[in-house]
Chain A
Amino acid sequence: MSNRYWQVLRTYLERPRFWVLSVTYLLVTWFWFWYYAWSRPDERQAQAIISAIYACLICSFLGLHIRRQFSHPAAQAIPGYAMPHLVVAGVLSSVLWLVVPLLAWWTDHWSGGAVALHSFAAILMGIVACWPRGVLLMMAIPALAIWASRPVKARQYPYIIELYLGYHPYMAAALIATAIAAQAVAAWFLLRLPRKGISTNDEFSIETPIVPAGTNPLTDWLLAMRESEAQRLTRTRWLPLVQRWRAPVAIVPLLLFVPAVFVATGAMFGWWVEGEGHAWAAFALVLSCAILLLLPLGPWQSRRWAMSQEILRPVSREKYYRQFLGAMAMDMVTWLGTASVLIFVVVLLEWYNINPVNRLTDVTRMFALSFALLWSMAAFVYGVGVATLHRRFWLPIIAVTTIGWFVGCWYSVALTGLYLNIRSDWYMAMAFVAFPVVTAAIGLGLTLSTYRRWVRGDVV
C-alpha cells in the first residue's frame, strides 16, 4: 500500500522543475528573508507575499503534473490509480498553502491572513488541473501582486497587506473556502477525465495547440492569422532575406493582444496611487513587458531543431546564422517597439497629474528611463537567450535571467527612489545609466560570441 504512495511521490521527485522551484523557494523565502524577517514586521509581510507567490508557482506546476497523470490511459486501466495520485497531490499542495502559513501563524511569525494569501495557490492549482492552458495565468502573478500592492487610500496600506493583517476576515474566509472548493472540484474533474480520452502535454509552451483543422474554430482562426502573417513575411520587400526566417514563427501579431491586459493593469493602478501614478504605471508596464518577453522569444527556441534543415536551404552558413539572429531580433524589436509606444501613451495620460513646473522634462526623463530599462534588459535577455538556445532548461534560464536583471537593477541603482524622484543628482543618474548600458553590452557580446561559435562548430 505504502509502496504505491511512494511511487507516486517519486514521480514528483524525479522532475527537475520541482527541485529547482523548491530550492529557490526555500532560499528566497526562508533563508534570505529570514535574515530580515525575524525582527521587522514589515519584512515579514513581504516574506508572506513572496511565499504566496512561490506557492502559486509550485501549485500551478503540481496541477499540470496531476493533470498529465490523469490524462494517461493508465488512469483508466490501472485499478486503484486515482486515490494515491489525488492524495499525494493534495498533501503536497497543502504543505505549501495550508501547513506553512498555519505553522507561521501558530508561532506568531506571520499574521493569520497569510493563509488567505496562500489560498490563491490552491485556487490556481484547481484551475490548472481543469484547464491546463490556464497555466499562463502564472505570468499574471507578478503584475497582480504589484496591482494588489497599491495603497488603499483610507488606511494607507495596500489591500494585500490589509488582507494579511486580518482586516478583511470575510474575504479571507471566502478565499480559503474557494480554495478548498477548487481542489474538490478539480479532483472530481480529474476523476471524470479519462472517459473523455484527452491527452495533455505539460511541457508548457506558449504556442497555439496543434489540433486537426476544423476541431476548434478559435484555434483555426488564430492559426489562419498566423499563416497570413507568415505569407506576408515571405513576400515582404523590406529585408526579405531576414524576414523570411520569421515566417515559421510568425507569432508577433498574436502576442500583441496579450499586453492589452497588462496595459490596463498598469494604467489602472497608476490612477490609484496618488502623486506617483505616472511612475508606477510606467514601471509596471516595463515589468510586464519584460516578463512577457518570453512570449516572442519562446517560439524561437522551440524552432531550434529546424535549424539543421534550414541551413541546407540555399543560403551560406554565415548568412544563415546572421539572418536567423536578425530575424529573432526583429521579432523582439517589434514587441518592444509596441511596448515602448504603450509606455509613452500611458505616461502621456498622466500628463495632468504631474507638477506643471517641470512637466516636459519629467515626462521626457520618465520615458527615457523606461525606454532605457526595457531595451537594455531586452538586449541582455536576448544575448542570454541566444547563447543558451540549445540548452535544455531554456525557459527557466530566461525567466531567471529576467528576474535576476530586475533584482540587480533594483539593488545596484536603488531603482525605486531614483525612478520616482527623477530630479536627482547627476552622479546618481550616471549610476543609473551604467547598469543598463553594461548589461546591454553583455547581451550584445554574448550574441556576437554565439554567432562565432555557431559558425565555427558543428550544426547542432
Chain B
Amino acid sequence: MNAFPREYALEFSAVSKLYGERAVLDRLDLAIPSGSVVGLLGKNGAGKTTLLRCALGLAKPQHGTVTILGEPAWTLSASAKQYLGYVPQTPQLYPWMRVAHLLDYTGSFYRRWNGALVRQLAADWRLPLNQRAGTLSVGEAQKLTLVMALGHEPDLLILDEPVASLDPSARREFLKVVLEIAAGGNRTVLFSTHITSDLERVADRVAILQNGRISFFGELGELKDQIKRLRLVSVNTFPERFDMPGILTQRIQGKQALVTTRLVTPEMLDRLEADWHATVEVEDLNLEEIFLELHDE
C-alpha cells in the first residue's frame, strides 16, 4: 500500500493525442478516484487503447497532462512503477520460458513480490507451471499475464480488453479475481472493454469514450437511473420531433413514440402526459442498450 493515499489514481487534463491529422483523444478530461473499479467503454477504434497508452506513459499526448499515481505519466519514475500493474490486450510472453521461470523472472524486478499469492493464483487457475509460455492456450496466456501483473500487489491495475478472448467460465473467474482485488477498497482498477455485461457486474463506475472525449463518467447506477426509454401512446398524433433537453434518440410513428432521454424526472413525465394527452411508460435500459442509444447517429 502506498504510503500516501491520494485522491485520484489517474488524471487526464485536457489531453489531446493526434496521429497525423486525426485527433484520437480530443481535450479529454478524466479523473479516476482511488479505490474505484472503472470500466472504460467505447466502440472499437474509439481510442481506448490510446487512452491507456497515454495513461501508462507509453504514448505522449500533444496537449494536456496525464498524472498517474501522482506523477506525470511520461516521466514515470521507477518507484512509482512498483505500484503499477498492466495487462495488455495480447499477452506478451517470452515463448521459450517455462511459466514458473517467467513468474520468477518477473518477480525479480519488484521489491514487494508476493510469491505466495502468485503460487496460490497459479494453483487456483491451474496454470501449467512447467509448460513453455509459447505453448499455452489463449486463456491460459491471459491468466498468466494477469498473475504477472498482480504479483507485486499494485495499487493501480490497468487492463486492456482483458477478457475479449476468454470463454465464459474463464471470464467469470477472471472477473471474480478483479472483484477480490478491488474488494479491499485500496486498489484502483481501470479496464477497457466493449463487452458491457462484464462491466455491469464488476465496475462501480463507467467512463464512456466517444469522439475523443469522455461523454459520461460516473457511477453505473446513476447512468442507468438517468437514461431511460419512454414509451408514449397518445390519442392525438405526435409532432415530427420532440424538442426537449436530454433527448438521445426518438422514433415517432403517428400516435406512438419511443424516446430515449437522459434527464428523466417526475416533473418531465407529468409534463409529457399533460402536453400530449399520452400515457408514458418508463423502460429501464441496460448498459448495452444505453451504449447503443448513445452511439446512435
Contacts and interface: CB of A to CB of B under 8 A. Distances in A.
A314 interface: yes
Given A210-B96, A234-B105, A248-B97, A314 B132 contact: no
B92 A308 contact: yes
A319 interface: yes
A319 B101 CA distance: 24
B110 interface: yes
Contacts, number: 84
Nearest to A220: B132
Interface string B161-191: 0000000000000000000000000000000
B135 A309 contact: no
Interface string A207-251: 110111100000000010011001100100000000010011000
Contacts of B108: 234, 244
Contacts of A458: 53, 58-60
B84 A312 contact: yes
Contact of B134 (A210, A248, A305, A457): A210
Given A212-B132, A213-B132, A313 B88 contact: no
Interface residues of B, number: 36
Contacts of B98: 213, 227
Contacts of B58: 308, 311-312, 458-459
A208 B134 CA distance: 12
Interface string A45-66: 0000000000000000000000
Interface string B129-146: 011101100000000000
Interface centre among B76, B106, B132, B135 (most CB of A within 10 A): B132
Interface string A302-325: 010110110111111101000000
Contact of B110 (A207, A210, A314, A457): A314
A317 B57 contact: yes
Nearest to A303: B94
Interface string A126-155: 000000000000000000000000000000
A222 to B, nearest CB: 9
Contacts of A309: 86, 88, 92
Given A244-B109, A309-B88, A316-B78, A213 B94 contact: no
B135 A231 contact: no
A306 B132 contact: no
Contacts of B82: 314
Contacts of A305: 92
Interface string B235-279: 000000000000000000000000000000000000000000000
B44 interface: no
Nearest to A313: B109
A226 B58 CA distance: 30
A218 B92 CA distance: 26
A314 B135 contact: no
Interface size class of chain A, counting residues whose CB lies under 8 Å from the partner chain: 20 to 34
Contacts of A316: 75-78
Nearest to B152: A314
B101 A231 contact: yes
Contact of A210 (B95, B105, B106): B95
A314 B96 contact: no
Interface string B83-105: 01010100010111110010011
B43 interface: no
A309 B109 CA distance: 13
Nearest to B158: A312
B132 A248 contact: no
B81 interface: yes
B56 interface: yes
Contacts of A207: 96
Nearest to B59: A458
Interface in A178-218: 207-208, 210-213
Report which residue of B59, B94, B135 has the largest number of chain A beta carbons within 10 angstroms of its beta carbon: B94
A210 B81 contact: no
Chain A CB within 10 Å — which of B81, B104, B110, B111 has the most? B81
Nearest to B80: A314
Contacts of B81: 312-315
A72 to B, nearest CB: 21
Contacts of A319: 78
Contact of A312 (B56, B60, B101, B132): B56
Given A213-B132, A308-B92, A311-B58, A230 B97 contact: yes
Interface of A: 207-208, 210-213, 223, 226-227, 230-231, 234, 244, 247-248, 303, 305-306, 308-309, 311-317, 319, 457-459
Given A213-B130, A230-B97, A309-B92, 12 more contacts: A210-B132, A213-B131, A226-B96, A227-B98, A227-B101, A230-B101, A234-B104, A306-B92, A308-B88, A312-B84, A313-B110, A316-B75
29 contacts: A210-B96, A210-B132, A210-B135, A213-B131, A226-B96, A227-B101, A230-B97, A230-B101, A231-B101, A234-B105, A234-B108, A244-B109, A248-B94, A303-B94, A309-B92, A312-B58, A312-B86, A313-B106, A313-B110, A314-B79, A314-B110, A314-B111, A315-B81, A316-B75, A317-B57, A317-B75, A457-B60, A458-B53, A459-B59
Interface of B: 53, 56-60, 74-79, 81-82, 84, 86, 88, 92, 94-98, 101, 104-106, 108-111, 130-132, 134-135
Per CB-CB distance, the 7 closest pairs between chain A and chain B, nearest first, are A210-B134, A459-B58, A458-B59, A314-B81, A314-B78, A313-B109, A248-B94
